Structures are given as structure tokens and as C-alpha cells.
Amino acid sequence: MTAEQPNWNSRLAIKFNHSDLVSPINDLNCQFSNSIDIVDSIDACNIGYSYSNPRFKFDYTITAVNMAVFRKIFSTAVKGARFVLGVAYKSDNESKDWAFTSIDFTECVVTECQPLSIKNDNKAPTMKISAICLGFSATGANGETVTSSQNGTATGSMS
């Protein structure tokens, strides 16, 4: 028995703050890191693990085709404002080419922005964005959702 192979007729798209479609995207690179150390004691080695907080970051490059969205993203970067970045596939059919139907990066902040990359090749300029975020939510093709743990809340007074 062979599994059905993807036909790759669909394309990924980005939504900025749940409303503005950012398309086309040249590339999107996401990274999740969770530093884990082995715990040793005086009595024994390798007795367990110590987990640090997970970290999420991503970078993407877009082409300056939709200038209104291009300016909105740049303005958000300059202001240091938080935003949501959603990734989903757009397709003319209901293909299941991708492992997730959607991924949302929440509470994002731009860490680096290269607003214009202009080349002498008669193509539209591009902008590269690097960002970090506090959480994510991913929905699989089967409808199952995976969500990062909730953000912490500090309480108390500084007086």
C-alpha cells in the first residue's frame, strides 16, 4: 500500500494581524528552541532533565507588491508594536499538501528589519523581517490544534 503523495498545487500565504494578506512571500523560516540540560546530583549522574522556557522566532522575506501592507509591516517594526502573524495555505482546491492548515505566531515583535533590498534586475524590491514571539498555535489537517503554554503573569507590587 502506498501513501498519497502531495501534488504541491497549493501555496503558503501570510496574514498580518489576522486581516492583511501578505502575498507573495519569498521565504519563511521558523525556529522553535527549547534548551534542555541533563541534571546530575552528588549521588548519581543523568537523573533527569531541566527544561528552560521555549523560544519562538521566525524570519521572512516579502516582495513589495501590496504597498499598503508593506508600509503597515514596516511601521509596526519601527514602532516596536506587537503583532500576530498567521501562516496558512491558499489553494484552488482542498489539497492536503501541508502538515498544518494554519499556524499563528502571537505577541510578535520585530527584532530586525531590512526595509528595502533593491537590485538592478527589474523586479520589485523586497523586505526581510526577523521577529520573536511569545507563543504559537498550529492546526493540523485533521483539525487537531497544538498550542504553546500560556504566557506567565507577574503579580505583586514594586514598592
pLDDT at 159: 44
Mind listing the pLDDT tens digit for each residue in 59-93?
988 887 778 888 888 899 999 999 998 887 665 55
Q: CA-CA distance, 73 to 9, in Å (whole number)?
A: 28
Asked if 35 and 54 count as a contact pair (C-beta separation under 8 A), the reply is no
Q: For residue 42, what is the DSSP state?
A: S
> What mean pLDDT, rounded, does the chain reach?
78
Q: CA-CA distance, 57 to 111, in Å (whole number)?
A: 10
Give domain 11-34+51-146's CATH superfamily: Hcp1-like (2.30.110.20)
Q: Return the residue matching grid coordinates 519563511.
A: 28
Higher local confidence (pLDDT), 54 or 75: 75
Percent of the chain scored above 70 by pLDDT?
77
Question: What are the φ/ψ torsions at residue 75 (nearest 5 degrees)?
Answer: -60, -45
pLDDT at 157: 47
pTM to 2 decimal places: 0.71
pLDDT at 91: 58
Residue 100 reports pLDDT greater than 60: yes
Q: CA-CA distance, 75 to 94, in Å (whole number)?
A: 35
Higher local confidence (pLDDT), 114 or 157: 114
pLDDT at 90: 64
